[in-house]
Amino acid sequence: MTTTTRTGRRAGLAAGAALALGASGLAGAVPAFAATLGDYEIAGVQFVNDDCSRNEYAIDASITGTTDDIGGFDRVEFQVWDDGTMKDSRILEVEVGTTRDLHAFLSFVGLYGTGAPGVGIMINDVDGAGSLVSTLDYVDPFFPDDVDGPCTFDVERIGGPTRIETAAMLSEQKFVMADTAVVATSKAYPDALTAAPWAAQLGAPLLLTDPGGLPQPTEDELLRLMPDDVFVVGGSKAVTDAVLDDIQAALPGATVERVSGADRYATAGAIAQRVVQDSSAELFVASGQDFPDALVLSALAARHQAPLVLVEHDAVPTATAAAVGGLSFDDVYAAGGTAVLTDDVLDAVSAGMPWTRYSGTDRYKTAEAVLEQFPAEGKVLVATGEDFPDSLTAVPVAARTGAGVALTRPDAVPTGVLEEIERLTTGFSFPLITIVGGEAAVHASVETQLQGLVDALGQPAERSADQQTEANLPQE
């Protein structure tokens, strides 16, 4: 596998989920240099079964950036605490002088409330290094809903008999709530490829549809979520107006909007314009003519809150050039060797800025090279590399949970990819490898292989112990 870099100079809500609504109301003054917290919403679920329990919390918060922590952006950290121990956290950014709705997803394995009741949710202003500036608000205790449901660690599978059902199941099990949903065709990859990073930023699942009408599993999931906004990506040839009519009939109170262009390149450009970049101004580039090398690149773009555009093997389409001209970026990343994207194309689309190519001898070696860019956070989603839908619908889940997306052959995980999965999960008390897709897409032999990897990791020396405390959040 190869990573090539060229430098240059620039030319020119779940049903029944516990819910809390709030606005910043902490006792005591918040420093004037802290970000401003507006309305926010917390939803929480604790899935409980005989094996374990898993807590999941979704926080939607309106944040106004006030202080330049890094590259013109203000940083805010969302945390969940239980019995004096921070269980998970996520740092997000908002540009100074703007107000944005940020979407944070937090999770941990284990029963809450063995000491203090419920859990504690904290929203902090932090500096460029992630150190605390001030607490904007908190809720302690917050009580999630206890529900019977999936609670596994080590290895789990989420998959149905079809790609459409798998996408709906993934949304149902990984999105406690969502005010927005994104829908793309299940028949072709380009729209879903470029929409996945945008969906991740919106805190939205990526659902799939038939071109001529909304399938029942997708409708059922939309009815569960009851989003305020639904974006349908792609032109009328990819997704007919009948689908938009079906969504509007199912959700009469929602705003249903098509996002499209004259072709796949123009659609990708239209979506790229809607992605709000963070302090690392980057552009991701993929082939609009074949999907394998682009699959995991979409997940990396989502993690970096960066737009993804499409090019041809040896040409930059006019629509792509126009979209790139309206974007600001300092670095460009692409996937695939010169047989997929020529150096001249990357030189042209990067407009003189440095670019990096991730490539290998086949799609799995390329996927390995991209997966190496993900930090270890104990979670990985694994999908087939032989087709596109499962891996792309996994992207918004991966982005919200801090997971990498790994591609596998249907019957076995390639050695290099397996080594990366091991790196990403080693040393964590409750690692989680999620196979996305049914056994027709990812065979049972892969599940056995991954379970063997987890078993070989050995039991961590220490898993978090229960504490008897009066509050979940740390006390002064």
Residues 22 and 135 in one domain: yes
Strands, E assignment, 72-118? 73-82, 85-95, 99-109
Q: What's the pLDDT score for residue 17? A: 65
Q: Which CATH number does the domain housing residue 222 bear?
A: 3.40.50.10660
343 lies in a domain? no
Q: Which of 148, 169, 195 is the last residue of a domain?
A: 148
Q: What's the pLDDT score for residue 319? A: 96
Residues 144 and 181 in one domain: no
Residues 28 and 140 in one domain: yes
For residues 75-106, one letter each, b for 16 or more C-beta atoms within 10 angstroms of the residue's C-beta and e for the rest, the string is: bbbbbbbbbbbbbbbbebbbbbeeebbbbbbb
Q: What's the pLDDT score for residue 23? A: 62
Q: Which of 260, 284, 314 is the last residue of a domain?
A: 260
Residues 73 and 195 in one domain: no
Q: What does the alpha-carbon distance between residue 432 and residue 424 come to, in Å, rounded to a whole number? A: 10
The pTM assigned to this predicted structure is 0.87
Q: What's the pLDDT score for residue 293? A: 86
How far, in whole angstroms, is CA 243 from its chain's centroid?
A: 25
Q: Which CATH number does the domain housing residue 140 bear?
A: 2.60.40.10
Nearest C-alpha neighbor of 366 from the set 439, 300, 454: 300
386 lies in a domain? no
Cα torsion 444, 445, 446, 452: sign: positive
Q: What's the pLDDT score for residue 348? A: 97
Residues 111 and 197 in one domain: no
285 lies in a domain? no
H helix runs in 211-334, sequence order: 216-225, 241-250, 264-272, 295-303, 318-325
Q: What does the alpha-carbon distance between residue 71 and residue 332 come to, in Å, rounded to a whole number? A: 18
- Sequence-ordered list of residues with C-beta below 8 angstroms from that of 28, at least 6 positions apart, any chain: none
Domain count, the chain: 2
Cβ-based burial of 468 (10 A; exposed 0-12, middle 13-18, buried ≥19): exposed
Residues 189 and 105 in one domain: no
Parallel, antiparallel or unpaired: strands 53-64 and 36-48: antiparallel
Contact of 141 with 164, CB cutoff 8 Å: no
Instruction: Give every residue of the chain whose pLDDT is below 50, as ranges.
Output: 8-16, 25-27, 461-463
Helices 444-457, 415-425: inter-axial angle, 10-degree rounding:
50
127 lies in a domain? yes
Q: Residue 101's beta-bridge partner residues?
A: 62
Q: What's the pLDDT score for residue 114? A: 67
Contact of 127 with 91, CB cutoff 8 Å: no
Q: Which of 225, 245, 260 is the last residue of a domain?
A: 260
Could you tell me the residue range of the domain that residue 183 belongs to?
177-260
The pair of structure tokens assigned to 429 is 């008390």
334 lies in a domain? no
Residues 135 and 189 in one domain: no
Query: Is the previous residue joined to 375 through a cis bond, with omega within 30 degrees of 0?
Result: no
Q: What's the pLDDT score for residue 461? A: 46
Q: What does the alpha-carbon distance between residue 94 and residue 72 come to, in Å, rounded to a whole number? A: 9
Residues 184 and 142 in one domain: no
Residues 122 and 45 in one domain: yes
Residues 97 and 182 in one domain: no
Residues 50 and 133 in one domain: yes
Side-chain-facing half-sphere of 204: CA atoms under 13 Å:
26
Q: What's the pLDDT score for residue 417? A: 97
Residues 38 and 128 in one domain: yes
115 lies in a domain? yes
Q: What's the pLDDT score for residue 12? A: 32
398 lies in a domain? no
63 lies in a domain? yes
